[in-house]
Structure 1
Amino acid sequence: MKTNNNHLTTSWGAPVGDNQNSMTAGSRGPTLIQDVHLLEKLAHFNRERVPERIVHAKGAGAHGYFEVTNDLTKYTKAAFLSEVGKRTPMFIRFSTVAGELGSADTVRDPRGFAVKFYTEEGNYDVVGNNTPVFFIRDAIKFPDFIHSQKRHPQTHLKNPNAVWDFWSLSPESLHQVTILMSDRGIPATFRHMHGFGSHTFKWVNADGQGVWVKYHFKTEQGVKNLDVNLAAKLAGENPDYHMEDLFNAIEKGDFPAWTLYVQIMPLEDANTYRFDPFDVTKIWSQKDYPLIEAGRMVLNKNPENYFAEVEQATFSPGSFVPGVEASPDKMLQGRLFAYGDAHRYRVGTNHAALPINRPKSEVSHYQRDGQMRFDSNGGGSVYYEPNSYGGPKESPEKKPAAFELSGQADSVAYEHNDHYTQAGDLYRLMNEEERARLVQNIVGAMKPVDKDEIKLRQIQHFYKADPEYGQRVAEGLGLSLTQEV
């Protein structure tokens, strides 16, 4: 029974008689271990911070809704997409990637774009970025990639040598590096950037027919980016600039919105398309697979408590609902495990039961116990399956669609290794001013690298994408393309 008498209590509900002075032996101490209120306060304080995320540590979040604007039932049986006009509550978390929890918002970095849809069939998470591609395409390289972006183990300083050494030895990163070093590398605000699911997913309709799908969230505020000098100024003067902008916009009723589009590819096209459609370092041409409108996302409510909602929010690309399934994308396949495992470590094994993560639909399973179990823990109900006591049973009609597999179990690389065409196409799409800023940003980032070998190896990648691209970077670094790598 709750009371509203405004009396301070301990965590176990007992009234606190003195919250200003600890219990001591006499006026000068020492402090008594029997002061359990003091011990509880200090012990809780020591544990107030859950471990920060290894990546995407700093972020901002907001609540909103998603409204279907187009009938896509011929492609997917997902209930939240079942009829035009249907609204689904959702929560989004925007973030930087490489920086720590206290880092500046306006650094050159991809931005996380993670959306949780609270559907009637369970939560569905789209965990993407503000870029349509990624640096690597196999999850086995992910820990090494992130290590290269983090601090040096001896100096604890950011390490350009590691960054460019890794990228120069991983040519598949070139497309994303070009995006990162372009104007799009520093969005003006979270509101003024697109979002992408990045990976390829599979949609299945009510008849069991499947298609491959990619997600594109297009900002209705227009794309705006920051000048590098202004970004640096803001990083010093207001390192929380993007968080503040999002909160204030929603608070004053200027609700940001995005239109969701999808690209649809027939299953059989995956065998003949000129790029591997499951390679997350590549895009699908919109000329080949045009954007199809799906719905509209609106953010209209700020969190009431940052820690409870933004910091404890957990997202996983493996949180599927019927009608949405995985593809053979190797990076996605690794993330299906890694994200949930990170949440079990960081927030706890019962993270999905926290209010921000709890589905709106009923949860019925046989998982019991674990740290911080704060509900009835299943009470005295049956705790195993199969059982003869009326416990929840599987729904065979909700099984994912079957798919064929072939080949030998082996560590196999992607067959397609054209890492240059799409990066070169992107470079050639830029106007002269955009190209100049791109080259300037790259040169500035590479100058601290202490090995010409690394610089020249990376320049060769730029050159293979477009000769002018490589030549201009080389000139900016005072190097000749004739030098041996």
Structure 2
Amino acid sequence: MAASKPTRKPAARSAGSGTSDRSRDATGKRAGDARGNGDELHQSAGGAHPPLTTNQGLPLADNQNSLRATERSPTLLEDFILREKITHFDHERIPERIVHARGSAAHGYFELTKSLAPYTRAKILTEVGEKTPLFTRFSTVAGGAGSVDTPRDVRGFAVKFYTREGNWDLVGNNIPVFFIQDAMKFPDVVHSVKMEPDRGYPQAGSAHDTFWDFVSLTPETMHMIMWAMSDRTIPRSLRTIEGFGVHSFRLVNEAGDSTFVKFHWRPKLGIQSTVWDEAVKLQSADNDFHRRDLFEAIQSGNFPEWELAVQLFTQEDADGFPFDHLDATKLIPEELVPLTVVGRMVLDRWPDNFFAETEQVAFCPSHVVPGIDFSNDPLLQGRLFSYLDTQLSRLGGPNFHQIPINAPKCPFANLQRDGHMQMGVPKGRVNYEPSSLQGDTPRETPAGFRSHATPADDGAKGRIRAGSFADHYSQARMFFRSQSAPEQAHIASALVFELSKVETAHVREAVVSHLRHVDPALAQRVADGLGMDALPPAPEARVAPQDLDPSPALRIIDRMKDTLEGRCVGILVHDGSDAATIKSLRKAAESAGATVKVVAPKLGGARLADGKKLPADGQLAGTPSAVFDAVAVVLSSDAGKQLAKEAAAVDWVRDAFGHLKAIAADAGAQAVLKAGGIARDKGVVDAGDIKGFIAAAKTRQWDREPKVRLLA
């Protein structure tokens, strides 16, 4: 599939012992011995550190890697240590989800537009024009169900397809990579990012010591950290996020031939984000900002839509990549394997009951249909076990699939019986197979799911990580260097903000030391922002970082669509405002695809200059400009002078300017702009310049940013 195949540099094979110690004791000093099968850190017991054991007291020699037959084979079910660790983790919270607790969801459909019949026998991917019902849930990761919509966080992006061959759950995020390479570390990364167990905070935030301590000791996190500190984690709307299946999966055709696939969701409206100050103010303005936006779009008939695109590649293609596609901390650049659009998803109906549907829906990566299979990604292998185990606890037992939102819409039959909350009434005496006592029991079918017969690599069973997983910095470097200048500044500033919340000095220093491998200039910017006198030395890199070609597809700013479709324009009015100007602004914005909302000092609205009353959609003090994508201020001279003394009005225009939004203002509004210290630029236009305002409203005024805030 790739036009050219770069040669993969040979990665260091696993060794029985590591090279140098990188662990620290409680004082921050280097301690213990570092041993490893790869670049992962192994900290040895000794001194005040007791041996790490299972719940039964069995000492553990390796808490970093799950058990595999060979270094790139699937995880083995016999790994009782992995099962105990993840089982305990899955059952820590009842009934709230441990991660992805705060979610918003909607019903819709998927329509296939391009057949993948040469690659798969999955009917949902071969029958063009077929519309398959689905249910999609978006979520934040770190916060609880009662947290807010707009923190800096990864967004979950999970889709349940109710196909004619059974349910297919495509469970992913709005970021194509993850923090860790092996499911053995999933409880650890989540424990580190959740609120600290002794103090119960911070909620829904990663700016604290335990998370960054884990990051500083786990270099495989560096690529994900670049994404997490980018504008991807402060999206403007759920309707403007991308979705990724993260892992490589397999498509298997009728002949049994396998092709690797990565799944991508691309929003019709394009990618949009906020700036950090705006995201912070949205948290206080509206805790449900993303949920409300999704609800209002569906209710108004502006149905959110995404394209489903795939990256298809063979084992031969994969062998030529300069990274291992089975490593979940790596992505495949679109320039290397282009995306092929195969369908679209439309969300057109809000749930009838939030608890019954949004809260009780259960997604499991193990839910696939014939023609779709798994790769040997060790993180995916652990998820196949973990999700199902979690549902058993959260939803009361093994019959959670009978809850309407989880039940297949096609016929299903098996020989599983009884259990907590059994809603069916199975009939007959046979609940086993093979059997001969009943003529209507379910049987195997040649058309059913078959695992792809993947040849095994040579090697010996053990807790081992493939040497091809050892390059932790090259893609992090590629991601950072692929960003536009403003986005690079946002990443640096986000790192400064997050690390400024970290109390432990050696953790801050360790993170900055890793950044030297990502980009020396980035490391220096962050060090300067933290007030460090000198850059800390870079840690040893097991695989020297490569200078991969930049990927413009990884940006946001340069890829934002030149449109107002799906966006919202706010118009601030008061008694005496000019009706004709308001009408012209509204007509132009709505013609361009935007929603228009009127804001006034009083919820009852304003008496315009023509004597007519204009109802308000929001009251000034409770509807800050942060909730809009562009704003207009239309005031009489007297109203302008009055609102220039009103803090909420001054903040309304000052925040819009600081958040780089277009502002249209008539003569009466100039007093408010002057009170806010706003100077005219290409994004601040006269309210009569309708064409100029609409053009400016379609984007952010990035040239303005250095004038309104200090960035790292």
TM-score norm. by structure 2 comes to 0.60
Counterpart for residue 147 of structure 2: 103
Q: Which amino acid aligns with 2:519?
A: D
Matched, 1:279 2:327: yes
Q: What is the 5 A alignment of 1:292-441? A: 292-347=340-395, 348-376=397-425, 378-388=426-436, 389-390=438-439, 391-398=441-448, 399-406=450-457, 407-416=459-468, 417-441=470-494
Counterpart for residue 289 of structure 2: 241
Q: What is the 5 A alignment of 1:96-175? A: 96-158=140-202, 160-175=208-223
Q: 1:440 to 1:370 in 2, by over 3 A?
A: same
Counterpart for residue 52 of structure 1: 96
Rounded to whole Å, the distance in 1 between the matches of 2:382 and 2:222 is: 21
Q: Which amino acid aligns with 1:346?
A: R
Q: Which amino acid aligns with 1:256?
A: P
Q: Which amino acid aligns with 2:520?
A: P
Q: Which amino acid aligns with 1:320?
A: V
Deviations 1:357-395 (A, max 9, x none): 10011111011111111121x123521111112311112
The Cα of 1:69 is off from its aligned counterpart by 0.7
| Runs of 5+ consecutive residues of structure 1 not aligned to the other structure | 1-48
- 3-state secondary structure, aligned to 2:284: helix
Which of the numbers 510, 513, 522 marks the counterpart of 1:460?
513
Rounded to whole Å, the distance in 2 between the matches of 1:260 and 1:134 is: 20
Bigger drift between 281-290 and 192-201 goes to 281-290
Contact kept, 8 Å, 1:212 with 1:265, in 2: the verdict is yes
Counterpart for residue 126 of structure 2: 82
Bigger drift between 107-116 and 146-155 goes to 146-155
Which of the numbers 135, 138, 148 marks the counterpart of 1:94?
138
Which of the numbers 240, 246, 250 marks the counterpart of 1:192?
240
Q: Which amino acid aligns with 1:369?
A: D
Deviations 1:242-285 (A, max 9, x none): 11111111011110000010001112333342100111110112
Deviations 1:100-119 (A, max 9, x none): 00001000000000000000
Q: Which amino acid aligns with 1:401?
A: H
Bigger drift between 120-129 and 398-407 goes to 398-407
Deviations 1:319-345 (A, max 9, x none): 010000000001000000000110111
- 3-state secondary structure, aligned to 1:229: helix
The Cα of 1:397 is off from its aligned counterpart by 4.3
Q: Which amino acid aligns with 1:81?
A: L
Rounded to whole Å, the distance in 2 between the matches of 1:480 and 1:175 is: 26
Counterpart for residue 262 of structure 1: 310
Rounded to whole Å, the distance in 2 between the matches of 1:128 and 1:362 is: 27
Counterpart for residue 686 of structure 2: none
Q: Which has the larger radius of gyration?
A: 2
Deviations 1:288-339 (A, max 9, x none): 2111111000001110001111100000111010000000001000000000
The Cα of 1:482 is off from its aligned counterpart by 4.2
Matched, 1:179 2:231: no
Counterpart for residue 254 of structure 2: 206
Q: Which amino acid aligns with 1:449?
A: V
Contact kept, 8 Å, 1:60 with 1:95, in 2: the verdict is yes
Contact kept, 8 Å, 1:456 with 1:481, in 2: the verdict is no
The Cα of 1:451 is off from its aligned counterpart by 2.1
Contact kept, 8 Å, 2:108 with 2:133, in 1: the verdict is yes
State percent identity of aligned pairs: 45
Q: Which amino acid aligns with 1:166?
A: F
Which of the numbers 255, 276, 279 marks the counterpart of 1:228?
276
Q: 1:282 to 1:481 in 2, by over 3 A?
A: farther
| Runs of 5+ consecutive residues of structure 2 not aligned to the other structure | 1-92, 539-712
- 3-state secondary structure, aligned to 1:123: strand
Aligned-residue CA RMSD (Å)? 1.5
Contact kept, 8 Å, 2:122 with 2:369, in 1: the verdict is yes
Q: Which amino acid aligns with 1:304?
A: D
- 3-state secondary structure, aligned to 2:212: helix
The Cα of 1:402 is off from its aligned counterpart by 1.4
Rounded to whole Å, the distance in 1 between the matches of 2:163 and 2:530 is: 52
Q: Which amino acid aligns with 2:513?
A: Q
